[in-house]
Amino acid sequence: MLKLVKDKVSFISGIFFVILSLILFYEASTLSPFGAVFPYAMTTILIILSIILIVRSFKIEIKVINQTISFVKIPLLTVVFFMWIYFLERAGFIISSLISFNLIVLINSGLNLSFKKIFIYMILGSGFILLLYFGFKNLLLVPLPEGLWFRDL
């Protein structure tokens, strides 16, 4: 069967994500009906996308040319990720997420993009983070960290 597969990495990744989704779907069944809505929705979307990835792996072969690994970006991105986790409770979701996202954009863009594109990515990403925050807080009524530093204000 693997001889029919043109993109083996996509095929194996798709299988892995289907299995992971099924496990997470099962684990979400232990939650309350209201609490399980979001996990059910996300795992369903992940299963659908994984099946599309598996089907696509039979048709399209992806070749990566000149792939280089930056040994500077990976540690920087890891530090930013752990800083986001550390400051999430202290500074709150909005501030820590905005700073972390914009640092990730700066690190990943390097010198390859113009200032205008970087600025547009930062504005659009910041808008998306604010949309997520207000969507979770007001529509789904999910309490997100507001920050220990700002509780007395």
**Cβ atoms < 10 Å from Cβ of 59:** 9
**Helices in the chain by DSSP H: which ranges?**
8-28, 37-59, 73-91, 93-109, 115-134
The pTM (predicted TM-score) of the whole model is 0.57
- pLDDT at position 3, please? 57
Mean pLDDT over 54-69 rounds to 70
DSSP class per residue in 62-92: ----S----TTHHHHHHHHHHHHHHHHHHH-
Residue-wise pLDDT for 90-122, tens only, equals 888 888 888 998 888 888 887 677 888 888 888
